Amino acid sequence: MKRHLRLFALYFAQYAKVRLAYKADFFIAFFSSMAATVIGFGFVLVLFTKTPQLQGWSFYEILFLYAFSLVPLGLFNVVSWNLYEFGDMYIIQGRFDRILLRPVNSLFQVIFEKFRIESLQEVVTGLAVIGICTQHLHLGWSLTDYGWFAIMVACGAVIYLSVFLILTSVAFWFEDRIGIVPPVFNMLTFGRYPLTIYSVFIQFMLSWVIPFAFASFYPTTHFLGRQELTGYFYLTPLVAAAFFTLAVAVWNRGVMNYSSTGS
């Protein structure tokens, strides 16, 4: 663990130096990311100019849910760059051969070779909006709640990582430059609103097939004091652990199936 933490620090420091060497490019990416975040919050504001509540959820409750979803998603986005490009860069171009020659876990290398540093603004923005919503909703959190908050953020990030790692691993069997990650990524939006507004089929999909609801909606209900879904809240760490275990198993199976480019 100590060795891998040191390697992570070295990977991050080295990539940050490279990324910040082109400051204009970095700031363009940062402000583009920030603009997308602002537009997302703007949509919530526009939505509530038409209706005072959404399935019993007030404006600040929806805003809290949306902001909470940004925190684990932002952490995931920081390390997810290579998952989107894995099929093209590592499989089709044969760069995965280089990964296998190093005495470090292949998954560790792929995830931490690149960072989307500008996505850290999603974490900061999400936490800031959560603070504002907490005041408006008069939520009194105990020290335990803050502990659970940190745990649920970590679980949410692990769930996002697990889902997209499984989808990325498909590239070991089906070589495709784009893959199936983009369509599923678009489903992240569903997890930013109350699950109860969707059909039973969508609720099932977002809970047990692609568990984005456990990354945002179910944790949020606890922090907002909604007791009707308490059982799902405490299931979140188990869901995160189960999907991460499955994702690592699929990845390892894919690595065993890898046969290089032959060039």
| The predicted structure's pLDDT at residue 133 | 94
User: Residue 243 pLDDT > 80, yes or no?
Assistant: yes
If you ran DSSP here, which 8-state letter would residue 229 be given? G
At 3, list the tokens.
């060795």
| List of residues 6+ apart from 247 with CB closer than 8 A | 161, 162, 163, 165, 166, 169
Distance of CA 61 to the CA centre of its chain: 21
203 has a pLDDT exceeding 60: yes
What predicted TM-score, i.e. pTM, was given to this entire model? 0.91
Instruction: Give every CB contact of residue 254 below 8 A, 6+ residues apart in sequence.
Output: 169, 170, 171, 172, 173
Nearest CA to 155 out of 71, 216, 79, 240 is that of: 240
In the predicted model, is pLDDT for residue 63 greater than 90? Answer: yes
Average pLDDT over the chain, rounded to an integer: 89
Q: Is the pLDDT of residue 104 over 60?
A: yes
Please state, for a pLDDT cut of 90, what percent of the chain lies above it.
Answer: 47
Q: Determine the pLDDT at residue 163.
A: 94
Could you identify the residue written with the tokens 């997308």? Answer: 36
Q: Which residue in this structure is represented by tokens 């603004």?
A: 121
Q: How does DSSP assign 93-104, residue by residue?
A: S-THHHHHTSSS
Q: Where are the domains of the chain?
A: 2-257
Strands, DSSP E only, in 50-175?
Answer: none
Residue pair 212/187 in contact by the 8 Å Cβ criterion = yes
How far are the Cα atoms of 3, 60, 195, 206, 210 from residue 199, in angstroms, in the given order?
47, 23, 9, 11, 15
pLDDT by residue (tens digit) across 108-132? 999 998 898 889 999 999 999 999 9
Burial of 18: CB neighbours in 10 Å, binned 0-12, 13-18, 19+: exposed
